[in-house]
Amino acid sequence: MDNKAIILFDGVCNLCNSSVQFIIKHDKDAYFKFASLQSDFGGQLKEAKQIPDHVDSIILVENGKVYLQSSAILRIARHLDGAWKLAAAALIIPRPIRDIIYRYVARNRYRWFGRQDQCMLPSPDLKERFL
């Protein structure tokens, strides 16, 4: 898909939905497109990229490659405006260490931030950013 990257996210997770809103706000070039993991498109992409079923939070598909956990978050940060680009410097930290922290937050995200009964619906002006 042209030169855009796709972010798959847990559409019922409040933290994930807030993260998507944050990314949209700081993605001035509209580099990212979005799809919930619960959507038909999200499920098909996950299957096509052979992403295991247990992977259920934010996933980045960029230039045909799949990035999971902390690698996805930090690669997303590289494309955000302002000081958020600096977060990508954390990529120098070994992935197993970064992913321990990521998995801890991911495991507790519903308890800490809650969940919705259904996926969020994008506003009409953002609809073209969602697949």
d(CA 56, CA 11): 10
> What is the rounded end-to-end Cα distance, in angstroms, of the chain?
11
Residue 62: pLDDT band by 50, 70, 90 thresholds? very high
Q: Amino acid identity, residue 35?
A: A
Say how far apart CA 15 and CA 105 lie, in whole Å. Answer: 10
124 vs 47, which has greater pLDDT? 47
Q: What's residue 1's pLDDT?
A: 43
pLDDT for 75-122, tens place per residue? 999 999 988 888 888 888 999 999 999 999 988 988 898 887 766 666
* Range from 55-59, 60-64, 123-127 that averages highest in pLDDT: 60-64
